[in-house]
Amino acid sequence: MANSQFVTLLHYIATDVLFPSFCAYCGKLISNDDGVCKQCRNSINKIIKNYSGEYVFALEEKIHGKRKWFIDNGVWLFKYEEPVTKLVYAMKFKYNRSIARLFAQYCIDAINVQSWQFDYITYIPISNDRLWKRGFNQSEIMAKHIGNACNKDVVNLFCLKSEKAAQKKLSSNERFINTYQKFDIIQGNSNIVQKAVLIVDDVYTTGATINECARLLKANGVQHVYACIVAYAMLKEMTP
Ligand SMILES: [Zn+2]
């Protein structure tokens, strides 16, 4: 047997026999490492929305009233509905890194059609407790794939303040309406003054978290903030 055939056989044994992959949506056995089968991939391709900031901000304000946005522009790839919901779950709670890479690829495709010029990529942090349980931050994984593809540095710019400390300072109403004071900027990781930063996140619900992170960036001298978000959890009363 030639060497190359032997390597192919070893690869087959390692990937398909010892560690077979299954589609994270339908469960079918797959021979690629995309995280989903071809059919599911095709159905995901059909539901890409790529909502713009202009669209999302206007829609949000229709429901919640006027808001102060610190994100200059963004792209929201999908509505938070099946099959995206199940895939986000697989990424976050079944530790499926292939799905993080799959979503990152959709982010890269969406970013490539924008005319944004950005210097750094960052991501929303998760608590140490969650990081310990999960082993990784899914938004960080996505950010790193995007950084590789766009040839930009991925920097960790935010940390979570201790929850007790943050809650002490806030009234319950403040806690409800926003996440003010939940995060801190990490000083010295990069010179972000007058720079443009892209924030990567998985699911947008109220928008409070990412808007607060954008506010912190602006307060620390960042000129432009862009956002790339995988799923938009629209309220039922919002139109498709
Ligand atoms: Zn499938």
- Considering its fold, how many domains does the chain have in total? 2
Domain of 203, in residue numbers = 48-232
Reported as a single tens digit per residue, the pLDDT across 58-68 is 998 888 888 89
In the reported structure, the alpha carbon of residue 229 is separated from the centroid of ligand 1 by a whole-number distance in angstroms of 23
In the reported structure, the alpha carbon of residue 155 is separated from the centroid of ligand 1 by a whole-number distance in angstroms of 34
In the reported structure, the alpha carbon of residue 99 is separated from the centroid of ligand 1 by a whole-number distance in angstroms of 12
In the reported structure, the alpha carbon of residue 75 is separated from the centroid of ligand 1 by a whole-number distance in angstroms of 26
What distance in Å separates the CA atoms of residue 111 and residue 180, rounded to the nearest whole number? 28
In the reported structure, the alpha carbon of residue 37 is separated from the centroid of ligand 1 by a whole-number distance in angstroms of 4
Q: What is the pLDDT of residue 176?
A: 46
Q: What's phi and psi for 119, nearest 5 deg?
A: -100, -35
Q: Decide the pairing of beta strands 153-154 and 196-204.
A: unpaired
What distance in Å separates the CA atoms of residue 88 and residue 86, rounded to the nearest whole number? 5
Does any domain span residue 83?
yes
Higher pLDDT residue, 190 or 195? 195
In the reported structure, the alpha carbon of residue 216 is separated from the centroid of ligand 1 by a whole-number distance in angstroms of 40
Residues 207 and 223 reside in one and the same domain: yes
Other CB atoms within 10 A of residue 149 CB: 15
In the reported structure, the alpha carbon of residue 138 is separated from the centroid of ligand 1 by a whole-number distance in angstroms of 21
pLDDT band at residue 223 under the 50/70/90 scheme? very high
Is the pLDDT reported for residue 98 higher than 90? yes
Reported as a single tens digit per residue, the pLDDT across 148-167 is 999 999 999 999 887 555 55
Reported as a single tens digit per residue, the pLDDT across 4-59 is 777 777 766 655 555 678 999 999 999 888 899 999 999 999 999 999 999 999 99
Residues 26 and 74 reside in one and the same domain: no
